[in-house]
Amino acid sequence: MSGTHNFDCNNMVSQIKSDNLNFLNKQVTQWREVINKKFTHDQKPHTTILFGGMTILQDKLVSVALQSLGERYVCLPNADFEAFQIGKAYGNKAQCNPTYFTVGNLIKYLQNLRDKDGLSTKEIIDNYIYVTSGGCGPCRFGMYLTEYRKALRDAGFEGFRVMNFEHDKGVFQSAEEQSALDFTPKFFITLTKAIVIGDLLNILGYKLRPYEIKKGSVDQALKKCEEIVAQAFIQKRSLIKALYKCKKELSLIKLDRTIQKPKVLITGEFWAALTEGDGNYNLHRFLESQGAECVPQPLINRLMLSLWEAKDELEQVHILENRSAKGIDFSALKSRFLIFVGKWALIAHIKLYSKALGLHDYEIPNMEKLAKLAQEYYPMQSRGGEAHLEVAHLLESIKENIAHLVISVKPFGCMPSSSVSDGIQSLVLSHFPEANFLSVETSGEGAVNFYSRVQMALFKAKQLAQEEFKSLKIPDKIPPKINKYTYQPKGKSAGSAAVLMESIS
């Protein structure tokens, strides 16, 4: 060392040696997260249970549905870019952006309680808890809860309770997980009903909005439907009757369904494909503004996938452990029975509700069929995220001509979606070069790049839709039934208008 710095090299080396010795002499122990999960029955009357992260409509319906059970559930507002920035400020580096959005959204809400509503930090910690789904996924999903607690601690809410139910366990939560939260079968059945109704109303919204004559009329009708369903939950009245009322509301919307539009199937990582806001740069509304019709990814898909995975796991364990040689396995039989009952109860509700809403052409995802489609390309034991579903959806769309464009949207660096599925999709595309497929990542920033890539793929989708329409014989007289949303014929074309024309030509 030279110059003006007064640097004693020998002294520094001996200091490092002594630090290292001190470190080695210390007993190194495993770091353990201190988790506050205490939520007792006497705390229940004054505790508000926060949750969120589904579509806007579903969050609202779920909160009223659970309030009808006497629970104080409140949904957080839709996560926006500000929430994302808060999540980044307090979160670990290199997390997936659903964590940044959802963690930041919770912190933003708590900060508002403190800074705008004047609650003290202690009051917030004592009187609020947050419930989310967790699980030991093979991707970063397994770390979400720790991430919530870390960010909350750094944001000044140390000890704030984050509780979870495991998304793949359903009603089979452990006693400790249940605490005063009442994760009972009734809770899950009510939750599922609200989720399914939310899904079906959302699907109808995406089906009708591109063809509305008066701008905003579909959203207005959906708002009324939300109110009708919410009242049915609160007053414990028939949900089926409420949905028939919704059908009447939706029937009043004036539509022009003869406009040919490209149909875009949205798939990808669960949250990125589902959310309706900055989390995916408002992908659905952006596509609609560019003249497309979206086929969204409902939460029903995730529920059906969880049931399929649970059944498949049982079968794999049965084979691996050669259980048939060990006699009757009663516990596996019981699990199979419960999965069977859960699946058919879910299907029955979807069928009943979609019929009441006039959504006749909705096909409940057939997990066996999708698994068969994917297995040629996808290692089926590989789990996490949407597992084989992204590959299966693309193959289904190609083989059954479902859409003019398939967009797979995922957070930047998503392990199951970017690293596994997208790798496999390139093989699928090499076998089906005619497919119009776009895989696009979201990072929270970079919207311009995202939109430009979507627009380029959409350009091709528009051309495909035009060619398809031109190849059809359009009758001179269009019957009025065409513009009734309950008229939903099946056809060979992908575009909605083209299918309608097929049905009358």
Residues that bind ligand SF4 (CB under 6 A): 96, 98, 139-141, 269, 384-385, 411, 414-417
Cβ distance to ligand SF4 smaller for residue 139 or 478:
139
Cβ distance to ligand SF4 smaller for residue 140 or 311:
140
Task: Output the six-digit token pair for 411.
Answer: 């957070």
Residue 258 buriedness (CB in 10 A; 0-12 / 13-18 / 19+): middle
Cβ distance to ligand SF4 smaller for residue 277 or 384:
384
Q: How far is the CB of 304 from ligand SF4 (least distance, A)?
A: 17
Q: How far is the CB of 390 from ligand SF4 (least distance, A)?
A: 11
Q: How far is the CB of 389 from ligand SF4 (least distance, A)?
A: 12
Q: How far is the CB of 9 from ligand SF4 (least distance, A)?
A: 46
Cβ distance to ligand SF4 smaller for residue 131 or 409:
409
Task: Output the six-digit token pair for 12.
Answer: 């520094």
E strands, 175-312, in order: 263-268, 293-295
Q: How far is the CB of 62 from ligand SF4 (least distance, A)?
A: 20
Cβ distance to ligand SF4 smaller for residue 148 or 233:
148
- Which one, of 480, 496, 479, lies nearest residue 488 by Cα? 496
Q: How far is the CB of 418 from ligand SF4 (least distance, A)?
A: 8
Task: Output the six-digit token pair for 472.
Answer: 């059809």
Look at the chain and count its residues. Answer: 505
Instruction: Give 437-485 as a 3 state SS string.
Output: EEEEEECCCCHHHHHHHHHHHHHHHHHHHHHHHHCCCCCCCCCHHHHCC
Cβ distance to ligand SF4 smaller for residue 52 or 262:
52
Q: How far is the CB of 302 from ligand SF4 (least distance, A)?
A: 11
Task: Give the strand order in the sheet containing 263-268.
Answer: 293-295, 263-268, 405-411, 437-442
Cβ distance to ligand SF4 smaller for residue 20 or 381:
381
Q: Give the integer Cα–Cα distance in Å for 389 and 382.
A: 11
Q: Give the integer Cα–Cα distance in Å for 182 and 201.
A: 28
